[in-house]
Structure 1
Amino acid sequence: MDNLYRQVILDHSDNPHHHGELSDKTNDIELKNPTCGDVLKLDLKVEDGKIADAAFSGYGCTISQASASMMTDAVIGKTTDQAEEMVQTFSSMIIGDDVDTDILEDAATLEGVSKFPARIKCATLAWKALHKALNK
């Protein structure tokens, strides 16, 4: 099972979904992780309270890129309230809290990052960007 999880993470990092920029974005933000140098720019298109589209660009480690890819997959089509609930669930999961991770889709495979404190900021960068972009 661990190998399957690792493969999902590597697949998202090597072939990220929704990588790029949106020309018709309504919300955007750029965040940096000063600890390791990861940079993530997130573009969102929010229409009628739903995330109609999302894209990210920037650079970083395998974990940050995979997390951004998984996050964009998971939130497109969700309401902003659902997306905020996902941010909270992801944040709780990544620090080791026992939570129902079903709403996170592939991002639930990052649960093991909680055992590696140095990687928590990498995994949460995209999710923090989502929260800040929605509340900007």
Structure 2
Amino acid sequence: MIYSEFIMDYSKLKKFVGKIENATKVEEGKNLSCGDEVTLYLLLDGDRIVDAKFEGHGCAISQASTNVMIEQIIGKTKEEALELLKNAENMILGKEFDAGLLGPVVNFYDVKNYPMRVKCFLLPWKTLEMALEKK
């Protein structure tokens, strides 16, 4: 079932919605095929993500994915966040991944069976990747 209770609950979460005025990194991501949009705000202390928030709109999957991603990356180093991202992407693309590393992100596992929704899940993760890889 694609719209699990977990996904629906996380799609409504407002804890990470907002702007970080002194953000170290700001990145915009758009899913042109369905209209999902996210602006990701990261506050880094050295290589560690100490806070993250987002603004945007989209379907339940993109909103839930963004909330779960932010919940999981706060406190992690850039390297740890990129490793999490790689595993999340592998999971959704049906490749080998470390479920133990992903934690609650595995709740999106079934989304891989809905090709039109894979981009919705990946939007915040690809936006994070762009933000972290910028100098």
TM class by shorter chain equals over 0.9
Q: Which runs of 5+ in 1 are unaligned?
A: none
1:20–1:56 CA contact under 8 A, matched in 2: yes
Select the residue among 33, 36, 39 that pairs with 2:34.
36
Once the two structures are TM-superposed, the CA of residue 119 in structure 1 deviates from its matched residue by 0.3
Aligned to 2:110: 112
Aligned to 2:78: 80
Q: How many pairs were matched up?
A: 134
SS in 2 for 1:131: helix
C-alpha separation between the residues in 2 aligned to 1:124 and 1:52?
Answer: 22
1:17–1:72 CA contact under 8 A, matched in 2: no
**Letter of the 2:110 counterpart:** G
Once the two structures are TM-superposed, the CA of residue 79 in structure 1 deviates from its matched residue by 0.5
Identity of aligned residues (%): 37
Q: Cα deviation per residue 1:47-99 (whole Å; 9 max; x = unaligned)?
A: 12100000011000000000000000000000100000011001100011232
Q: Which runs of 5+ in 2 are unaligned?
A: none
Select the residue among 43, 63, 66 that pairs with 2:64.
66
C-alpha separation between the residues in 2 aligned to 1:87 and 1:17?
Answer: 21
C-alpha separation between the residues in 2 aligned to 1:43 and 1:133?
Answer: 9
**TM-score of the pair, normalised by structure 2:** 0.94
